[in-house]
Structure 1
């Protein structure tokens, strides 16, 4: 006798963890400074949005600090954006990243981190420790310059 419980296995979703790249490791950008990370990130930003709305991106790095990819974690409004840390770490784990450089823009052009900026940085750093994912830096990006939490000793 078949019961409803026994046939439910057919409707369970399958999870497949795959990271595909066409870029050789030797061809990936090698991040050696906050300035270079800023350059890579700024080049990935839509120039029409950097001074218009706030976005949050993550540079995913391998053990040699070579870039595996850039993940756009969120896109928000004029004065803020909400980052779902679970999705951020899902992307990092799927790419087999071991290092993270966070970045978000301030459309106002200010380079001073807000209290929410500091809070999300701490929260991601703590979560990363549990997963052996190092938070290397958090950059505030504008079209003209950047602020580095690591360079300023705020990490």
Structure 2
């Protein structure tokens, strides 16, 4: 009798041609796109963390929500983040999260997470292009623009 094990399926499905996907050229482009896809009903209430997945030409492959947390924090499992990046065959990412308080200043935890993800990304040859903090009115702080990356 053959031993039974669970089947593992890894998939990424393109709904639009990559040639038709938006290209990210600046933190402003990324923030505008992420804000467009943020749930406006919860952006002031609940912190969440998303990644923008990019190809070699900085064309957007997709946006994926890694975690949704509470009023003042959300937990980001770096293993899930990289599983998503690797499954989608992305070569670049832009991390993002919202601050329900509206404050755009990064916390110590924000800086530590950014550093941890950036260090781990080197093992996979994945570029961490930015980390954005987004507020409910669309304003943002870019770690790259501020020299925090």
TM-score by length of 1: 0.92
Whether 1:148 aligns to 2:130 is: no
Deviation at 1:13, TM superposition (A): 1.9
Aligned partners of 1:18, 1:52: CA distance in 2, in Å? Answer: 32
Whether 1:51 aligns to 2:73 is: no
Q: Give the corresponding residue for 2:17.
A: 24
Whether 1:41 aligns to 2:45 is: no
Structure 1: where are the runs of 5+ without partners?
A: 1-6
Deviation at 1:22, TM superposition (A): 2.2
Whether 1:66 aligns to 2:47 is: no
Aligned partners of 1:150, 1:105: CA distance in 2, in Å? Answer: 16
Aligned partners of 1:42, 1:10: CA distance in 2, in Å? Answer: 48
Aligned partners of 1:91, 1:10: CA distance in 2, in Å? Answer: 29
Q: Give the corresponding residue for 1:81.
A: 74
Which structure's residues are more often helix, by fraction? 1
Aligned partners of 1:52, 1:14: CA distance in 2, in Å? Answer: 38
RMSD, matched Cα: 1.0
Aligned partners of 2:46, 2:11: CA distance in 1, in Å? Answer: 32
Rg comparison, structure with higher value: 1
Q: Give the corresponding residue for 1:139.
A: 132
Counting matched residue pairs gives 148
Aligned partners of 1:62, 1:49: CA distance in 2, in Å? Answer: 29
